[in-house]
Amino acid sequence: MRNLLLTLRFHGAAFHGSAIQPNAPTVQGVLQPALERLAGEPLALKCCSRTDAGVHARVFCVSVRTACRIPCERMIPALNAALPEAMAVTACREAPEDFHARYSCKGKRYVYRIHNSAVRDPFLADRAWRISRPLNEERLNREASAFLGRHDFSSFCAAGGGVEDHVREMFTSRVYREGELVLFEIAGDGFLYHMVRIMVGTLLAVHDGKCPSVREVLAARDRSRAGSTAPAHGLCLEDVLY
């Protein structure tokens, strides 16, 4: 048996999240049958994380144990020929026997994109959240620094996450501007249900004077004290750290 690590990217607008659902196209629901047809056997895919409907990924990792002997370099074009345009396998390599795409992960890096413009851009319609009012990225960046370090992120976890331990450590947390795009980059050892999207909503609420400081929201450990949940289509998983 081989243990393979597949790296892929996908445009989230085409999928109802990553996990298999009975009546909707999902990342795993599309990838698994293509991989099983190629391998000629049923497979159990292990995904690095669960993503919500509409969330994108430039890097998304899947591990799978298989008896298939097709070389990695041949599996990439064979899979891509069977996958939809919204998804592509970018790498395939042999992994150690005990490697697991989720449990071996040391962290993830996300970027949330805001299109800060009074005029919509059709090319960003499903890849960034458009906010027309002017945003002060320096003020947002100052608030974002409060996320750095190890904290209890209970205020930033949506109901239904099913996780009791809300303590996570953030390695990177910054807001910066690239032209009309205001970007929130966050990297940490783990993320709670809707956590990044709630972070974005809270940063904007603090910016607009509708919410206390991020530090106060963190200290409260109360979801009701945080801002709203930002739309999914602005969020992209940029990297998975092993």
Q: Are 128 and 149 in contact (CB under 8 A)?
A: no
pLDDT reported for residue 180 = 97
Domains and CATH numbers, the chain: 2-94 (3.30.70.580), 107-241 (3.30.70.660)
User: Which backbone phi and psi does 81 adopt, to 5 degrees?
Assistant: -70, -25
Which pLDDT score is estimated for 53? 93
Please report the pLDDT score of residue 164 as a whole number: 87
Return the pLDDT at 21.
85
Residues 6+ apart with CB under 8 A from 190: 107, 108, 168
- Across the chain, the runs of DSSP E, i.e. the strands, are 2-10, 46-47, 56-66, 87-94, 107-116, 129-131, 149-152, 167-178, 181-188, 235-241
Q: Cα 57 from chain centroid?
A: 6
What gap in Å lies between CA 139 and CA 78, rounded to an integer?
Answer: 48
pLDDT along the chain (242 residues), means of 10: 97 93 91 96 94 95 96 96 97 96 97 97 96 97 98 92 90 98 97 97 97 96 96 97 96
Q: In the prediction, which pLDDT does 162 show?
A: 75
Measured CA to CA in angstroms, residue 146 lies from 77, 106, 121, 131, 221 at distances of 44, 21, 32, 23, 14
Contacts of 165 (CB under 8 A, 6+ apart): none
Rounded Cα distance, 23 and 219, in Å: 40
Q: Which of 52, 121, 165, 222 is catalytic?
A: 52
Given this model, what pLDDT does residue 96 score?
Answer: 96
- The reply to whether 52 belongs to the active site is yes
Q: What's the pLDDT at 160? A: 74
Report whether 189 contacts 117 (CB < 8 A): no
- pLDDT attached to residue 195: 97
